[in-house]
């Protein structure tokens, strides 16, 4: 699963969530459920270009990431 917007580092994701920026989670695959609404999931990034450079466990509330676990 990935985050939107696409962050280059986990630190950038943590900062955005701490500042209250709207960050959502989605799965781009053909068999996915699209955007997540509530729960805990593992995300990775960045999506493009190349290989992933970070992973994080996050909590989603009402479609928005509300917590990034260390």
Per-residue pLDDT reduced to its tens digit, 16-48: 999 999 999 988 777 776 677 899 999 999 987
pTM: 0.87
54-61 sheet: strands from edge to edge:
39-45, 54-61, 64-68
- What pLDDT does residue 9 have? 95
Mean pLDDT, range 59-68, rounded to an integer: 95
Q: Please tell me the number of Cα atoms within 13 Å of 57 on its side-chain side.
A: 4
**Residue with the two structure tokens 């950038």:** 12
């Amino acid at each position: 699963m990935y985050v939107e917007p696409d962050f280059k580092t986990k630190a950038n994701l943590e900062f955005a969530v701490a500042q209250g920026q709207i960050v959502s989670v989605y799965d781009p695959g053909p068999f996915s459920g699209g955007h997540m609404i509530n729960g805990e999931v593992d995300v990775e990034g960045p999506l493009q270009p190349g290989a992933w450079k970070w992973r994080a466990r996050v909590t989603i509330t009402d479609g928005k990431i509300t917590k990034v676990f260390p």
